[in-house]
Amino acid sequence: MAARRNWKCPTLLLITVVFWLNAANCQQQTASNISRKKLTCPVASPPKNGKIKLGLGGREAKYSCNQYYVLVGQNTSTCLQGEWTSETPVCAIDGCLFDPSPPSGRFIPSGGGAVLKLECDPGYRPSGWPLIYCVDRFVWNGTAPHCQANGDVQQSATRCDFESQDLCGWVQDTRADEFDWAWRNDNGTSSFHLGTGPSFDHTLGEGKAGHYLFIQFSNRVLNGTARLFSPVYGPPKASAAVNEEVCFSFWFHMYGSTTGQLQVYIKPESKKMSELKPVFIHSGDQGDHWRQGYISLDTVTENFQVVIEGVRGSGDAGDSAIDDVQLTKGEECLAALKRMMPDTETTTTQPSSTIPPPSNPTTASTTSVLLNGDPPQGGLPADEQPVITANQQSSSSGASIQVSLPNWLIVVTVVVAALGDSLARDGWCRRRP
C-alpha cells in the first residue's frame, strides 16, 4: 500500500505541469493574435480620381493620380504600429477661380493653379491649414484660410531699444529682400573705418557698446532693399485721451558719401504693401549723427504695422542704422516733432487707411523777374526780397512780383522791352494825327 501511494504523487504532479504548460501556451497564442490585430493597419483606399498600389505584404501604399490631376500630399505611406505614416492624399485639378489674396499675405499657386498655398506677412500666420486645392474644376475643397496676427496685438512691445536679441518682435522680411538688417553690439559698424555707419549706439551712448540695427550697403545690388516689420499693434487712438496726438518716433543714422534712402511705411491691416507709399523718406549722407524721425498716427483707426525699409545707394560707402523705436503720444510726440524740424529734405505725411499719402515732393529751381522794374524794397539785395507769388494780389501797385519763367521767355521779354524803348525814342510809337 505504501508503494502505491508513492507512485500517485509524481503522476498528479506531471498532470498538473502539463495542464499549466498548455494554459500558458494558449495565453501566449492569444496575446500574439491580439498583438497581430493591433499591428494591422486599416485597409488603404485610392484617392478620388487616383490609384493605389500596395506592396510589402500590404504594409506599403503608393498613390498616383489620373491624367491631368495633381497629387496633393505624400505619394507613399507605410504601416507602422498599426497606423499609416501619412494620410491618404487627394487629387486636384486646375480650373477653379483664384481667391483674392488677403491684405496681410498672398496665395502662391502650384500644380498649374490646382493648389494654392497661403504665405503670410511677417507678424502674421495662417488661420488654419495653409493649402486649398481645386476639385472637379469648379470649387475649392474648403474655405480659403486668412492671415491672423501672431499673439495678442494689445500686448505688443511699443518701445524697443534693440538691446535684446529678440528685437521686441520686429522681424525681417525674408520673402523678397536682397539683404537684411543686422544686429550690432559694439562700437561702430564693420565699415566705420571707411567713413560710414554710426560710431556708437544711440541708447547707451559713446563707448558703451550698445545695440542697434543697421544695413551695410557694400557688395549689394543697386536699389536693393531690406525691410523690417514691427509687431502688429492695435488702433493707436484706443489708449489715447481725446485730442491727444499719437505718433511713431525713432532714431536713425545715415553716414557715407553714397548712402541711399531710408523709408518708413504705416501698413493698416486692411491694406497690402503694394497699395502703400512711404510716409517718411530721408536720403543721402547726413553725417555721423543720430537724428530723430517722427510720423503722426492720428488717422490710423485699425490694427497696423510699421515697416522700415533701407534702399541701397549708388556705391558701397554708406550705412544706415535705426535705434530706439517707439509708439508714443502727447508731449513726447511734440518733443519728437520739434527735434526733427531742423532736419532738411525730409518728407513726412499723414498715413491713412483709405487715401495713399502723396509722393516725395521735389523742389524745382526758379528764376526771379521784377516785372515793374522797381528797385529792391527796403534797400535789401534782390535775392533777399520777400516773395509774392503770381496768384497773390498785391496791396499796392508798386509791389514786386516774383514768378517762375522759362529762360527763353525772359530773354524775349528783355529784348522786346529794349526794342520798345528804342522805338519810343525814335518817334515810331507816337500817335498819328
Q: By percentage, how much of the chain surpasses pLDDT 70?
A: 64
Please provide the average confidence, as pLDDT, over all residues in the chain.
Answer: 74
Instruction: Write phi, then psi, for 405 (nearest 5 degrees).
Output: -130, 150
pLDDT at 357 over 60: no
pLDDT digits (tens, 9 = 90+) for 274-283: 899 999 998 8
Confidence of residue 175 (pLDDT cuts 50, 70, 90): confident
pLDDT at 109: 92
Total structural domains within the chain: 4
Q: Specify the higher pLDDT residue, 403 or 151.
A: 151
* 388 shares its domain with 315: no
pLDDT digits (tens, 9 = 90+) for 75-117: 999 999 889 999 999 999 998 988 788 889 999 999 889 999 9
pLDDT at 430: 46
pLDDT at 12 over 60: yes
For range 409-430, the mean pLDDT: 53
* 288 shares its domain with 342: yes
pLDDT at 391 over 70: no
* 332 shares its domain with 264: yes
pLDDT at 147 over 60: yes
Q: For residue 12, tell me if it sits in a domain.
A: no
The domain that holds 222 is classified in CATH as 2.60.120.200
Q: Specify the higher pLDDT residue, 31 or 370.
A: 31
Q: For residue 122, tell me if it sits in a domain.
A: yes
Domain coverage including residue 295: 153-348
* 295 shares its domain with 412: no
Q: For residue 396, tell me if it sits in a domain.
A: yes
CB < 8 Å & 24+ apart, contacts of 45-54: 45/88, 47/71, 47/88, 47/89, 47/90, 47/91, 48/90, 48/91, 48/135, 49/91, 49/93, 50/89, 50/90, 50/91
Please, what's the b/e burial string for 170-187 (b: 16 or more CB within 10 A of its CB; e: otherwise)?
bbbbeeebebebbebeee
The domain that holds 82 is classified in CATH as 2.10.70.10
pLDDT at 247 over 90: yes
pLDDT at 35: 45
* 315 shares its domain with 293: yes
For range 62-73, the mean pLDDT: 93
For range 253-275, the mean pLDDT: 89
